[in-house]
Amino acid sequence: MIRAGIIGATGYTGLELVRLLKNHPEAKITYLSSRTYAGKKLEEIFPSTLENSILSEFDPEKVSKNCDVLFTALPAGASYDLVRELKGVKIIDLGADFRFDDPGVYREWYGKELSGYENIKRVYGLPELHREEIKNAQVVGNPGCYPTSVILALAPALKHNLVDPETILVDAKSGVSGAGRKEKVDYLFSEVNESLRPYNVAKHRHVPEMEQELGKISGKKVNVVFTPHLVPMTRGILSTIYVKTDKSLEEIHEAYLEFYKNEPFVHVLPMGIYPSTKWCYGSNHVFIGMQMEERTNTLILMSAIDNLVKGASGQAVQNMNIMFGLDETKGLEFTPIYP
């Protein structure tokens, strides 16, 4: 039985970890912390968790003693120092602090110096690309929600040089839970309902993360033009991606089927079928579709995920499974909720 702790258990990704770990046959929750609600039972605040563990203040000693793995679900910057103190506990950080190969990129986009970063045995936790390194990592930087949907949609094409990496254009749409459980007027129901809007146009913090990973796959510098949009739904990300190609749709489709043939969570759709975020709801599955605009040789890739599962907590559990030598799908086999 893996003993798992969660710091930041009462945010949306923290609560999703609780849901997934309660359902996991080989893990149990042994530690939950929350600054806001320390001292209370989780189900007092969130009856739907049906979890009567008591929330604590963060205590590194208790974590070291009671946990084999610690999930940190905190705002960017908050995990780094906290995590460095811990010994003998594997870390899966759902924030951005351990995602970058180059701490200078983190400093530029997140405004914080990560001292001693080079000594940490970390990896970018996208299992479909870095499975082997995850097995032996001490710290996993769990990918962002948008990057997960974008990198998986582009990996086969870039790996096999099927598209031009200089012209990657990503128009992404996300449900509101991606903004977290924050008291902000912008995310009130009355503001979001019947509303669709772009935000952080061309300067979202997920850009450098995508460019790092896409650059590694293609072996070239990659520029991503990225426009995220807020959509009136709770869960789900759909990324629509435009790239130039000189290959045929058939050839590209074949390459995708081959690339993902053994992946349990990535589903390349038949030709002519395009994904819906609804097909992923509450699950760790990814659906990828594609179409060609023939006149302009533009390949249109579309990928759908649940932002809180494959885009956050589900992927974190998938990483835990890999780190502890379990079957990668353990505790994540359930299919999406529909309708």
Residue 211: alpha-carbon gap to chain centroid = 15
In the region spanning residues 298 to 337, those forming contacts with a second copy, defined by CB under 8 A, are 298, 300, 302, 304, 333-337
**Judged by CB under 8 A, does residue 252 bind a second copy?**
no
The yes-or-no answer on residue 280 being catalytic is no
**Judged by CB under 8 A, does residue 91 bind a second copy?**
no
In whole angstroms, give the CA distance from residue 55 to residue 34. Answer: 6
DSSP state of 19: H
SS3 314: helix
Contact pick of 111, 116, 185, 325 for a second copy (by CB under 8 A): 185
The minimum distance between CB 192 and a second copy, in angstroms, equals: 4
Residue whose token pair is 């609600």: 37
Closest CB to a second copy among residues 50, 65: 50
Contact pick of 56, 64, 234, 248 for a second copy (by CB under 8 A): 234
The minimum distance between CB 154 and a second copy, in angstroms, equals: 16
Closest CB to a second copy among residues 20, 322: 20
Question: Site size for a second copy, by CB under 8 A?
Answer: 84
CB-CB neighbours of 333 under 10 Å: 11
SS3 163: strand
Closest CB to a second copy among residues 46, 324: 46
In the region spanning residues 149 to 168, those forming contacts with a second copy, defined by CB under 8 A, are 167
In whole angstroms, give the CA distance from residue 77 to residue 268. Answer: 35
**Judged by CB under 8 A, does residue 80 bind a second copy?**
no
Residue 191 neighbours by CB under 8 Å, 6+ apart:
185
The interaxial angle of helices 127-136 and 145-159, nearest 10 deg, is 110
Marked catalytic residue, from 83, 114, 123, 145 = 145
Give me the active site residues, please.
145
